[in-house]
Chains A and B, each alone.
Chain A
Amino acid sequence: MSDIITPTEDALVEVPPPARGGGTLRYVLTKIGGGLVSLALVIVLGFLLFRVLPGDVVQSMFRGRPATPELMAEAEARLGLNKPLYEQFLDYLWRLLHGDLGESYVFNVPVTDKILERLWPTVLLVGVATLIAVGLGLWLGTRSAWRRGSRFDRISTGVALTLWSTPTFWLGMLLLAATSGLFPTAGLVYSDTPPDFLSQALDVAHHMVLPTVTLVAVIYAQYQLVMRSSLLEEMDADYLTTARAKGLRDDQVRRRHAVPNALLPTVTLVFLHLGMVIAGAVTTETVFSWPGLGLLTYDALRVRDLPLLQGTIVVLAGAVIIMNVLADVLYRVLDPRVRAS
């Protein structure tokens, strides 16, 4: 997991453009419209990008096993790869409009089924990890800002930064080795767990520990640092002095006045970063063989499974776009200043 945090912060400072003529509905519709345009671009790009990549799909499918020219021609025709590119694209669009993402070359099953099957493990992992990371980040960030320069601040910020810059793969392997035998090494459940709900659920929880810990360790720092810096900005504000003058206890000043204001950029950041978290999940899923969407995308790319790649790209990009729209909308809801302007 590596991304430069500053541009995001810069972006956050930019206040969304004022909605002319007011009206929340109009604002939301504009945002959704923008999202749809982005999605359309992703669909076109997703199609073209993988076709521009070098490598003949049929050729790689037949690598390492007996093949006759007739068999290869058959396969090409079956996959529709012998048609001109624009026809392939129109086919793809037409199917997409009907909610059909095509059939995977390698797995020979509809891409939609494949993605749906892999979606929930990712949602589960990313969801739980994000919740924990956000909670932990906000809590630690608040503490360290409030006691800026204290030992707690220095240690927790140091630890967060160290973990943030740790390669996910390495951290995962380290955890696997260090907890040897305590947690499962791969997958979602053991193959011999009884099929009843309770055993299955407990087993999933058991399997989730290491991937979740890894993902949390790598992502919580950004929430902590943003929370810390935005709270620091609030700390010199006059209204805090007023609050103290009212006789509020330090704890109350922080909880009722400083934190709500400081939360603003952080909450938006949570949504904006969800896309990145999903990307980070790819590595975590690989280390722990977590049967999620990230693993699927990675494997599809390796074997040049075009329909599967397009499908996963549309779904992943769609998720990021939706999160962005949500962030925009949420920002407006949370910050009265944006609404007023």
Chain B
Amino acid sequence: MRSRRVALGIALLVSALVTGPLVASPGAVAAPEAAPNAKIERANQAPTILKVGVTQEVDSLNPFISITRTGTDILRTAFDFLTVYNQEEQKPIGSLAESWETSEDKLTWTFTIRPDLRWSDGEPLTAKDVAWTFNKMLTDEVARTANGSYVAQFESVDAPDETTLVVKTKVPQATMTSLDIPIVPEHIWSKMSDISAAPEYPMVGSGPYIITEFKEAQFTKMVANNNFWRGKPKVDELHFIYYRNADAAVTALQNGEIDLVNKLTPQQFDSLKSDPNIVLNQAQNRRFDEILINPGAATADGTPIGDGNPALKDIKLREAIATAIDTKTLVERVWSGYGEEAAGYIPPMFKDFAWSPSGDQKREFSLEKANAMLDEAGYRKGPDNVRLDKEGKPLNLRLLAHAERTIDEVAGPFIKGWLADVGINVTVQPVSDTQVNEATTRGEFDLAFSGWSANPDPDYVLSLQTCANRPNAQGTGGTPDSFLCDEEYDALYTQQLQEFDRAKRIEIVKQMQEMLNEKATLVILGYENALEAYRKDSFEGFPLQPRENGVIMNQQGYWGYYGATPAGEGPVPQFNDDGTITDGGDAQTSDAAAEEDSNTGLVLAIVGGVIVVLLVGGLFVARGRRKTAEDRE
């Protein structure tokens, strides 16, 4: 009898757990499944919520501290910047700043701040707040944690009146319209004793949404900011929900637990193709992947370090290696086609700055040609078909790879194979990410996988190849990439930083990329696509940045979340060059056909689940009864 009672209890408990929460909090489960008509009616009472699944944990919601993708993505929508990258093509336009001018000597920037701006708590937002934020970073090293590099060349910051901000720089800085620094309210932050502490919620901000609640490793809640100067967003609440497990996030999207997710793998992306309620977005990404070829690493003062194969100092050898890598095949194999073929150093997503080799500059993949190049350069074949270097030693190269990255894992053997065909013996060495970083910084590599996410302003990725970016004698204090260190390149680097005419600057940046291609200290492998998906039964769509082939999440601005349009409330707004809203003529539209299905599906699932539970419970009861009967024998 006892066991029967236990079994019955278990069965009851389980069914209570399955059905209980469904009954107790109908909003939680049923809401995303509601029909569109119901949704519009509901808009008057219940808030519309955009639930975004993120697979990276928030490190901090303190704008001076946060450096993770997710953290900055959230903060970008909570705090406005002086300038923002426009939706169309990621060109800097005014945000808090209405306009700006520079002095004759290019060292003084005068920004005019929009009048009548307000913080979410109603206090006025003025040039003083901006000046306080920048000055805090200049005087307090903790405040420099996340974005210190942007103020590294600031001489002074001053706000002579409420709408004027004057920044003096030590050297000319073309990047002054791309300061990625969230501006914080002085009236709140000046009272904080510890600038690195977690701020209080709701967090007073100036972006389209404000942060109201943060549950560590669970979710961040934001609500629409009525005081946002561009106008209140259509969505009432924006929730970022943390998924440690990307597959679970995909299931959650299919279940309607979340509305939007990014960072999908090609497999996950393909698996969602058959779901009629889901819209997929294959977007250009800001990341490039590359192979570094160690041209002879040295420290910032020119002392050689590391143990790179000295043969690689020969540009002819590096060129031959670059010719023997088939980037077209890699895009197919590594990203299942969800990527773009290699071109210049700046990813094609940044149309203005991107450069593509043409004519003789373009190294078409050809093993024959690579072999010919090596023969011509005097690398004779030794025994076992391995070529010998100038000193008669066989060409054995190590290829440093990230053990946990797909691209390294898949591309490694291909590269090994191609190079073997031209007589170069490659050993792939998969190690942890930190070990790759450490070894490449110390110059302890021959070939290595690497890759960076570029910003709309190319300054950062270009700086990686300069002499100044090399490490100190201990192999720290710098983040070098290929150890190029070329005088001409450095000169061009300084020149582009001092060129305030965008068109002219673009020309210089392209010239620098041409040079990187020519020097062959790095081989671009390609540009992975960003794969995103959202539910069209809950959302009409989102403004993409850039407008063509752009992303919804992790934008260099707030357009995607700000312009999020609930289903039935279309069209999706598109934002003009000056940031004003234009007609959303070219927005994705959705047919709200398959609505009923998902509803029926959920009901069926619940009914089915309950039946299964009852059956299992019943089985337990029956088993228990029979066993007790046997025991009594």
Whether B438 and A54, one on each chain, are in contact in the complex, defined by CB atoms closer than 8 angstroms, is yes
Give the Cβ gap from A111 to chain B, nearest Cβ, in Å: 13
The complex places the Cα of A4 from the Cα of B514 at a distance, in Å, of 60
Mask: chain A, 201-222; 1 = CB below 8 Å from B; 0 = not? 0110110110000000000000
Interface segment among A158-166, A176-184, A272-280, A318-326: the answer is A176-184
The complex places the Cα of A188 from the Cα of B242 at a distance, in Å, of 11
Note all chain A residues with C-beta closer than 8 A to B609. Answer: 179, 182
Contact of A59 among B196, B257, B438 (CB under 8 A): B438
Q: What are 24 A-B contacts with C-beta separation under 8 Å?
A: A54-B435, A56-B434, A58-B476, A59-B438, A63-B479, A65-B67, A66-B149, A69-B478, A70-B152, A146-B631, A177-B251, A179-B609, A185-B243, A185-B248, A193-B27, A202-B21, A206-B21, A250-B631, A286-B245, A289-B244, A289-B248, A291-B242, A296-B217, A299-B57
Interface segment among A12-20, A25-33, A71-79, A233-241: the answer is A71-79
The complex places the Cα of A179 from the Cα of B221 at a distance, in Å, of 27
Mask: chain B, 231-247; 1 = CB below 8 Å from A; 0 = not? 00000010101111101
Note all chain B residues with C-beta closer than 8 A to A187. Answer: 218-219, 241-242
Give the Cβ gap from A81 to chain B, nearest Cβ, in Å: 10
A202-B20 contact, Cβ under 8 Å, with A180-B605, A185-B248, A192-B27: yes
Report the count of interface residues on B (CB-CB < 8 A): 82
Report the nearest B residue to A60, measured CB to CB: B434
The complex places the Cα of A199 from the Cα of B257 at a distance, in Å, of 17
Please list the residues of chain A having a beta carbon within 8 angstroms of any beta carbon in chain B: 54-56, 58-75, 78, 106-109, 114, 117-118, 139, 143, 146-147, 152, 173, 176-177, 179-194, 198-199, 202-203, 205-206, 208-209, 249-251, 285-289, 291, 295-296, 299, 304
Note all chain A residues with C-beta closer than 8 A to B249. Answer: 185-186
Interface segment among B97-105, B140-148, B184-192: the answer is B140-148
A289-B243 contact, Cβ under 8 Å, with A179-B609, A186-B249, A191-B221: yes
Note all chain A residues with C-beta closer than 8 A to B472. Answer: 69
Whether A190 and B251, one on each chain, are in contact in the complex, defined by CB atoms closer than 8 angstroms, is no
Report the nearest B residue to A66, measured CB to CB: B149
Give the Cβ gap from A242 to chain B, nearest Cβ, in Å: 20
- The verdict on B482 contacting chain A, using a C-beta distance below 8 Å, is no
Please list the residues of chain B having a beta carbon within 8 angstroms of any beta carbon in chain A: 3, 6, 14, 17-18, 20-21, 24-25, 27-29, 31, 49, 51, 57, 59-60, 62, 65, 67, 141-142, 144-145, 148-150, 152, 196-198, 215-219, 221, 237, 239, 241-245, 247-249, 251-252, 254-257, 300, 432-435, 437-438, 441, 452-453, 460, 463, 472, 476-479, 601-602, 605-606, 609, 623, 627, 630-633
Give the Cβ gap from A14 to chain B, nearest Cβ, in Å: 34
Report the nearest A residue to B51, measured CB to CB: A191
Give the Cβ gap from A179 to chain B, nearest Cβ, in Å: 7
Whether B149 and A67, one on each chain, are in contact in the complex, defined by CB atoms closer than 8 angstroms, is yes
Whether A173 and B247, one on each chain, are in contact in the complex, defined by CB atoms closer than 8 angstroms, is yes
Give the Cβ gap from A149 to chain B, nearest Cβ, in Å: 14
> By CB atoms of chain A within 10 A, which of B59, B239, B434 has the most?
B434
The complex places the Cα of A181 from the Cα of B32 at a distance, in Å, of 12
Give the Cβ gap from B489 to chain A, nearest Cβ, in Å: 18
Note all chain A residues with C-beta closer than 8 A to B244. Answer: 186, 285-287, 289, 295
Note all chain B residues with C-beta closer than 8 A to A193. Answer: 25, 27-28
Note all chain B residues with C-beta closer than 8 A to A62. Answer: 479
